[in-house]
């Protein structure tokens, strides 16, 4: 690279060629373009403890009753489709499930939620429900286990 000739204009001031500076700017630009990632990988933490132990299934509780100790959300799988059951009531729409969880959260905000998931359910549906609980504000989510 030729040394940029230092010109002096008639007024005696120094002027410098911009070309190398533009080279450097392009290099930096290319670096940031190459390393930019648009898919941010994040984590969903599982609160302690993740698996509470054996739970009884088919507990019949009126969902509007206020003295709930815990809420069991079952995630079920039939013929390639996921559906949910909360306290004996079946739901086929995730928005309805969100509504129920929001109502429950208003009744008792630190209620533990237990997810009882069938083995065939894909992880995206499990994470959907877990994410929904966190969004609604129910932080204590646990997964039911056959035995610990």
Partner 1 sequence: MRVPANLTRGGLGFNMTPMIDVVFLLIIFFLVSSHLAQQESQLPLDLPGAASGENPREDETRRVVINVVHEESAEGQIVVAGRRMKTDELEKLIRYERDREPDRELEVRIRTDRRVAYGVVQPIMLACVRADVWDLTFAVIEE
Q: Which residues lie near partner 1 (CB under 8 A)?
A: 1-4, 20, 23-24, 27-28, 31, 34-35, 37, 39-46, 48-51, 75, 117-124, 126-128, 130-131, 134-135, 143, 145, 148
Residue with Cβ nearer partner 1 (61 or 145): 145
Please state the closest distance from residue 68 (CB atom) to partner 1, in A: 23
Report phi then psi at 90, rounded to 5.
-90, 145
Quote the CA–CA distance of 71 and 62 in Å, as a whole number.
11
Give the nearer residue to partner 1 in terms of CB position, either 81 or 148. Answer: 148
Alpha carbons 107 and 145: distance in angstroms, whole number: 27
Q: How far is the CB of 7 from partner 1 (least distance, A)?
A: 14
Residues 6+ apart with CB under 8 A from 143: 46, 50, 51, 114, 115, 117
């Amino acid at each position: 690279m030729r040394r940029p000739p230092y010109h002096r204009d008639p007024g005696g001031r120094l002027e410098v060629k911009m070309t190398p500076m533009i080279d450097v700017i392009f290099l930096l630009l290319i670096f940031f373009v190459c390393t930019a990632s648009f898919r941010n990988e994040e984590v969903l933490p599982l609160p302690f403890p993740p698996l509470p132990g054996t739970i009884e299934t088919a507990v019949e509780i009126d969902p509007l009753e206020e003295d709930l100790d815990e809420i069991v959300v079952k995630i079920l799988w039939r013929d390639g489709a996921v559906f949910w059951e909360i306290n004996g009531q079946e739901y086929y729409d995730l928005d309805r499930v969100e509504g129920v969880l929001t109502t429950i959260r208003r009744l008792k905000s630190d209620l533990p939620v237990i997810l009882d998931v069938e083995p065939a359910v894909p992880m995206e549906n499990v994470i959907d429900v877990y994410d929904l609980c966190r969004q609604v504000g129910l932080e204590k989510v646990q997964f039911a286990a056959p035995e610990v």
